[in-house]
Amino acid sequence: SALFLAEATTTEEPVPQVINRTTHRQNINAKQSSKLGHPRYRWQIVWRNVLAFAYLHTAGLYGLYLLVFACTGKTFLWCYLVALFGGQGITAGAHRLWAHRSYKAKLPLRIILMILQTAAFQNHIYEWVRDHRVHHKFTDTDADPHNAQRGFFFSHIGWLMVKKHKDVMIKGKTVDMSDLEADPVVMFQKKFYLVLVPIFCFAIPVLVPWYFWGENIWNCWFSIGMFRYAISLHFTWLVNSAAHIWGTKPYDKTIGPTENLGVAIAAFGEGWHNYHHVFPWDYKAAELGNYKVNPTTMILDGLSKIGWAYDLKTVSVDMVKKRVKRTGDGTRVFNDETSGN
């Protein structure tokens, strides 16, 4: 050790410390955090949310059992429709309209999307959009609310059961939210969210099958209230977890988000996530729109035909090609280039 000390003084390096019992990831987090001048992220568990998710998942599994073995066919169809419409409140509404402004919507469409977004109960539009814009601006860092560097569980559901990292608040303040503050539909929902959620996420979806075709109310609560809500959450969360971990990176191989067919199927076309992070203003949230799995794009194309959706923004083929060439991982091949070009 005398030799070691001599070496240490001559090279003027700090004495190395034994770092067992500390995982590699914790070290990285600690380094990132200390650079920013505050202690590393310690999880403060929010037990209210843990208990709520424990109930939701237990009740949701029971609801799945009832849906398959006890409910009528009509109730099964209703479950799908509520998930589909609530899903559009998230994909067409919160995500492509409000978070990214990838198209404009007339007032009636904005009101419908706000109601559907309420039926999905994923926080009010203002909070959803703020977290999502911060996610895009600071992807896979401590300021990303669902930082996928912390692994599948954290980016999927864990982030909703702990206090946020300070950077989310600090850097989040740099995100402009004035467009949403100017939208009365968004501000109305924000103000009355606690009244609107029980009505549109639970009362109406649960009572319709009971009132209109005499479904057992117990079945309604567990299958439509709990199972439909839980599965919609998981399908949404896969975009933050799976589509930040597994898949190809045809547009930018240097970033975390991926192209993931399974997630695109589950999330109504929101699994083409490498493209989406490179070109977030494209209303298709994918290069090929309808030609790849993307029902939300089909719906938006329909809404644009009747004039409710307008000024749809997209990206030129040329721009995509250039980007693919410059930063892609080589998995996107254009036909004219395969023939030698």
Which positions touch Zn ion (CB under 5 A)? 257
Kindly state whether residue 268 participates in binding ligand ST9, applying the rule CB under 6 A.
yes
**To which residue do tokens 């089909």 refer?**
298
Q: Which of 158, 162, 160, 104 has its CA nearest to residue 131?
A: 160
Kindly state whether residue 155 participates in binding ligand ST9, applying the rule CB under 6 A.
no
Contact between residue 255 and residue 331 where contact means Cβ atoms under 8 Å apart: no
Contact between residue 270 and residue 297 where contact means Cβ atoms under 8 Å apart: no
Contact map string, positions 234 to 253, toward ligand ST9, x by CB under 6 A:
-xx--xx-------------
Q: What angle do CA 72, 82, 301 make, to 5 degrees?
A: 130
Q: What is the full DSSP assignment across 262-313?
A: HHHHHTTT--BHHHHHHSTT-TTSSSSGGGSS-HHHHHHHHHHHTTSEES--
Q: Which of 169, 302, 298, 286 has its CA nearest to residue 239?
A: 286
The interface region with ligand ST9, picked from 1-9, 103-111, 209-217, 228-236 by CB under 6 A, is 228-236
Kindly state whether residue 22 participates in binding ligand ST9, applying the rule CB under 6 A.
no
Q: Of these partners, ligand ST9, Zn ion, none, which one is at the site of residue 168 (CB under 5 to 8 Å by kind)?
A: ligand ST9
Single residue of 163, 166, 190, 313 touching ligand ST9 by CB under 6 A: 163
Q: Hey, which residues between 276 and 335 contact ligand ST9 (CB under 6 A)?
A: none
The CA distance from 212 to 76, in Å, is 14
Nearer to ligand ST9, 172 or 328 (CB): 172
Find residue 309's DSSP bridge partners.
105
Nearer to ligand ST9, 44 or 316 (CB): 44
How many chain residues interact with ligand ST9 (CB under 6 A)? Answer: 32
Q: Of these partners, Zn ion, ligand ST9, none, which one is at the site of residue 60 (CB under 5 to 8 Å by kind)?
A: none
Q: Of these partners, ligand ST9, Zn ion, none, which one is at the site of residue 6 (CB under 5 to 8 Å by kind)?
A: none
**To which residue do tokens 């410390």 refer?**
17
Kindly state whether residue 90 participates in binding ligand ST9, applying the rule CB under 6 A.
yes
Query: How many CB atoms lie under 10 A from the CB of residue 253?
Result: 13
**Rule CB under 6 A: which residues touch ligand ST9?**
46, 49, 83, 87, 90-91, 95, 121-123, 128, 130-132, 134, 145, 160, 163-164, 168-169, 172-173, 232-233, 235-236, 239-240, 267-268, 270
